[in-house]
Amino acid sequence: TDRQKAILDFAVKVSTEAFKVGESDFETLKAHGFTEEDAWDIAAISAFFSLSNRLANVTNMRPNAEFYTLGR
């Protein structure tokens, strides 16, 4: 849906080009029914996911053998 696309577009922008996030991005979310608190939550989750993945990559952190047996 357009609402889901708005979330994903914002999350990707936060993750890849946070310096370009501006008022128009928040207005787009607002137009789809999201509050400022929703925007904060989307941004926080996206930023944390990016941070944790970058740290895992830079330290070459990989799942242990047990991870692969968890039926995911």
pLDDT at residue 64, rounded to an integer: 85
Beta carbons of 20 and 13 less than 8 angstroms apart: yes
Kindly report whether the global pTM for this prediction surpasses the value 0.85: no
For residue 65 the two structure tokens come to 């053998």
Structure tokens given for 3? 């609402």
Crossing angle of helices 36-58 and 2-17, in 10° steps, is 50
Distance spanning both ends of the chain, measured CA to CA: 27
Judge whether 21 and 13 are in contact, CB under 8 Å.
yes
Q: In this predicted structure, what is the pLDDT of residue 72?
A: 62
Residue 34 backbone dihedrals phi, psi, to 5 degrees: -90, 145
Report the chain (72 residues): mean pLDDT per 10 consecutive residues.
Answer: 97 95 98 98 95 91 84 68
What pLDDT is stored for residue 40 in this prediction? 97
Which pLDDT value is given to residue 70? 84
